[in-house]
C-alpha cells in the first residue's frame, strides 16, 4: 500500500489444517484498488448449499486473478462436497523485501505438480511506489505442452475493453479513474469473459474477467504491468514514464 494504491497478494493455504472448508482456489491471486476505486477483486462466495453448481463456480480457479493450467483446479474440489477442498497447492513465500520506493514479493504453489507433466507456478509482484505501477510476472516451471490461462477478475460496474493497441482498459465511469494492463511475453489476443461477483451472501452482480489463453510448452513466463491513472492524469505521460524505466 502507498497513498491511494493497494494490492493484496494471496499466498495463504486452503485452511483448516488442509481440509479447506471455506477455502477457494485462489493461490497467488491478487486484488487491486487504486485512485479510490476497486478494480481487481475477489468474486466472493455467493451461496453455499442452496446452489452447489454456483458454489463450485465461485470457488474455482477460473473465477480468480491467477493462472489456470490445462483447465484443472489448483486444489482438488468436488461439486457435491461444497466445504471440502484439497491442499495440493500449498503456496509459500520465497522472497519478500519492502523499501521506501519498492516492494517485491515472490511466491509459488505446487497445485499443478499432479499433472502428467508437473509444473510449479511462481508469481513475482513488484510495486514501484514513486512511479505508481505494479509489475506481475508469472513463471510456469516444468516441461511439456500446456494451456495457460492468465486471468484478472474485475469489479462489477466497470467499463472494460481490449483496446486496439492490445492494452486492457478498465474504467470507473463514476470517478474517471482507470487501470491499464499491459501484457508482455504473450502473443495471443486477450478475451473478455462474462463472470459474476458477490459482495453479500445470496447476491451477485455481472462482472468481467480478462483472459490470455496460451497453448505452449513449459517453461514459460508472462509479465503484466498494471498502471493506475487518475481522472486528471495524462495517459501518454504515464505510459512514457514506463518506457523510460
Each residue's pLDDT tens digit, 112-157:
999 999 999 999 999 999 999 999 999 999 999 999 999 999 999 9
Other beta carbons less than 10 A from residue 6's beta carbon: 13
In this prediction, residue 21 carries a pLDDT of: 83
CA angle, 44 then 194 then 59, to 5°: 30
Among 142, 138, 139, 140, residue whose Cα is nearest residue 118: 142
16 in helix, strand or coil?
helix
Over 80: is that where the pLDDT of 15 sits?
no
Q: Position of cell 490461462? A: 149
Quickly state the pLDDT bin for 244 (edges 50, 70, 90): low
Q: 56-71, pLDDT tens digit by residue?
A: 999 999 999 999 999 9
User: What is the pLDDT of the chain when averaged over all its residues?
Assistant: 95
CB-count burial class (<10 Å; 0-12, 13-18, 19+) for 28 = buried
72 in helix, strand or coil?
coil
How remote is the C-alpha of 98 from its chain's centroid?
21
What kind and span of H or E run contains 241? helix 235-244
Question: How far is 147 from 142, CA to CA, in rounded Å?
Answer: 13
Which percentage of the chain shows pLDDT scores above 70?
A: 99
Radius of gyration over alpha carbons of the chain, in Å? Answer: 18
Quickly state the pLDDT bin for 37 (edges 50, 70, 90): very high
Q: 190 with 168: CB under 8 angstroms? A: yes
In this prediction, residue 203 carries a pLDDT of: 98
In this prediction, residue 245 carries a pLDDT of: 62
Q: Residue 134 phi/psi, 5° resolution?
A: -115, 145
Over 90: is that where the pLDDT of 172 sits?
yes
Cell of 210: 480478462
Give the CB-side neighbour count of residue 7, counting CA atoms within 13 A.
25
Which percentage of the chain shows pLDDT scores above 90?
A: 91
Over 80: is that where the pLDDT of 55 sits?
yes
Over 90: is that where the pLDDT of 239 sits?
no
Average pLDDT estimate for 27-38: 97
Amino acid at each position: 500500500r502507498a497513498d491511494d494504491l493497494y494490492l493484496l497478494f494471496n499466498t495463504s493455504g486452503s485452511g483448516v489444517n488442509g481440509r479447506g472448508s471455506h477455502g477457494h482456489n485462489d493461490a497467488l491471486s491478487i486484488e487491486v484498488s487504486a485512485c479510490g476505486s476497486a478494480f481487481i477483486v475477489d468474486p466472493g462466495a455467493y451461496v453455499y448449499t442452496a446452489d452447489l453448481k454456483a458454489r463450485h463456480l465461485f470457488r474455482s480457479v477460473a473465477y480468480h486473478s491467477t493462472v489456470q493450467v490445462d483447465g484443472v483446479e489448483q486444489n482438488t474440489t468436488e461439486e457435491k462436497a461444497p466445504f471440502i477442498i484439497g491442499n495440493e497447492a500449498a503456496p509459500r513465500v520465497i522472497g519478500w523485501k519492502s523499501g521506501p520506493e519498492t516492494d517485491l514479493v515472490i511466491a509459488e504453489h505446487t497445485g499443478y505438480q499432479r499433472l502428467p507433466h508437473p509444473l510449479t507456478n511462481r508469481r513475482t509482484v513488484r510495486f514501484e511506489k514513486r512511479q505508481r505501477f505494479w509489475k506481475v510476472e508469472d513463471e510456469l516451471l516444468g516441461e511439456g505442452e500446456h494451456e495457460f490461462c492468465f486471468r484478472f477478475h474485475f469489479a462489477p460496474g466497470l467499463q472494460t475493453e481490449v483496446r486496439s493497441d492490445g492494452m486492457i482498459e478498465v474504467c470507473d465511469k463514476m470517478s474517471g479513474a482507470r487501470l491499464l494492463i499491459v501484457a508482455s511475453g504473450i502473443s495471443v489476443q486477450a478475451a473478455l469473459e462474462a463472470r459474476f461477483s458477490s459482495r453479500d451472501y445470496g447476491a451477485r452482480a455481472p462482472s468481467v474477467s480478462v483472459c490470455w489463453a496460451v497453448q505452449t510448452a513449459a517453461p514459460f513466463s508472462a509479465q503484466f504491468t498494471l498502471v493506475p491513472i487518475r481522472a486528471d492524469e495524462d495517459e501518454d505521460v504515464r505510459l512514457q514514464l514506463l518506457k523510460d524505466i
